Structure 1
Amino acid sequence: MAEIWGKERIRWLVFVGLITSMLSALMVQLAVWLPAAPSWEGQKAYAAVLEANLRVTIAGMVAYLISQYHDVWAFHFWKRKTASRHLWLRNNLSTAVSQLLDTVVFIIIAFYGVVSELLGLMLGQYLVKLLVAVADTPVVYGLVRLIRRGPQERSHSYIKGEPRLG
């Protein structure tokens, strides 16, 4: 997205994502705070599960903010350094560090004092995120190409008398 729409628009999307997460967390808390139906006997377990979700939600929001703002900054840093070339490099470098930040911040806030082996959790989660980041590189190239072609070219890939685009 940063390749197409730029730093400021993506920062706005990060902010919208944060607001969406906060509203979701509020809805979960409202579900716990509201009185249960008289026939419901599982309110105590329901509340225990959802209240534990608040710490995970907060961890997710903090990690999301830090990692996404870093990712936007890093992507544009590498874009300047590579003179807007090597999208694969910019995408993977910015994502690799951002996902490391996301993983470390999330695991510490969500599980510190609850789980004894934080380093193992961090390593496993980060490796999966790193593999996904590398694997999504062809998808990023395809989406950037599709978006840059514009709606006219996507809907009319052949105009009589003109060569096909793509």
Structure 2
Amino acid sequence: MPETDQTHASALTVPRGLFVYLLLYGGMTVLAGVLAFKQVRLWPSDLAVESGIFAFLILVVISSTIAQLYGRAIANRLVWWGFVPLLVASVLMALVLRLPPSVEMAQFRADDLVAFERVHSMLWRIWMAGPAAYIVSLLLNVWIFSRLRGANDGGGTISLMIRGAVASALSQALDSVIFITLAFYGEFDITDLLIGQVIAKVALSFVLVPFLITGGVWLARKLDRA
């Protein structure tokens, strides 16, 4: 390989762990918006949560993991570039909804067609609310996570777990307020959904995120060494 090609290849090398998380991150940004349309019951109460919470917690873990291993600047860039798959997905959805259905589907699967168009044509508020909540909460998560590390923090496991949980809980509580208000206000009484969402995200942030983020950091380091 010529020297110039080697230089270019070296400059474009991305750590394997970072590359894998970049792929996963893009998928989760789109999936979070799709899942958000369904609300599920928060057992054992009757409080409701929108299902996008599960994909969004993965986004939190990935952004914190990248901030931990590769720096806050890269994590922030990842958050901003997460708009790209969201934009492409929304454009494709608008295109598909405008295209006429096939003759076979209109004739033999009319119920499926009606259900598809009914659900996805109502997603416009979610597609609008998602990016607003996404950018505020994820940037806040990265900022809190990085600030809590401090100059003398060596990045130990306990510190990692605590910072991940606190940053996730605070940022996801704000995300719930922004997203649910913009997406569902006026459609129905959002009180139970909003309360349930905040409780669920805060609870899951303290129960799951500490272990998910330590696992995420471990996996990234393992992939980087492979």
Question: 2:91 aligns to what?
Answer: 26
Query: For each residue in 1:112-145, what CA deviation from the matched residue of structure 2 results, as whole angstroms up to 9, or x when unmatched?
Result: 11012x2221111122222222223123223324
> What TM-score, normalized by structure 2, do the two folds share?
0.60
Residues 1:17 and 2:82 aligned together: yes
Q: Which amino acid aligns with 2:198?
A: Y
What is the aligned counterpart of 1:70 among 140, 151, 155?
Answer: 140
Question: 1:162 aligns to what?
Answer: none
Unaligned runs of 5+ in 2: 1-64
The aligned runs of 1:88-103 (5 Å cut-off) are: 88-103=161-176
Deviation of 1:29 after TM superposition, in Å, equals 0.9
What is the aligned counterpart of 1:123 among 192, 195, 198?
Answer: 195
Structure 1 residues 31 and 150: alpha-carbon distance in aligned structure 2, compared to 1, 3 A threshold: closer
Residues 1:53 and 2:120 aligned together: no
Question: 2:101 aligns to what?
Answer: 36
Query: For each residue in 1:87-106, what CA deviation from the matched residue of structure 2 results, as whole angstroms up to 9, or x when unmatched?
Result: 22211111111101111111
Higher RCO by CA contacts (8 Å cutoff, separation 6 or greater): 2
Percent identical: 27
Q: How far, CA to CA, are the matches of 1:46 and 1:145 in structure 2?
A: 40
Question: 1:158 aligns to what?
Answer: none
Indicate the SS of the match to 1:114. Answer: coil
Larger Cα-atom Rg: 1
What is the RMSD computed on CA atoms of the aligned residues?
2.3
How many corresponding residue pairs?
Answer: 152
Q: How far, CA to CA, are the matches of 2:152 and 2:193 in structure 1?
A: 34
Deviates more, 1:66-75 or 1:54-63: 54-63
Unaligned runs of 5+ in 1: 156-166
Question: 2:186 aligns to what?
Answer: 113
> What TM-score, normalized by structure 1, do the two folds share?
0.79
Q: Which runs of 4+ in 1 moved over 6 A?
A: none
Deviates more, 1:38-47 or 1:139-148: 38-47
Deviation of 1:21 after TM superposition, in Å, equals 1.3
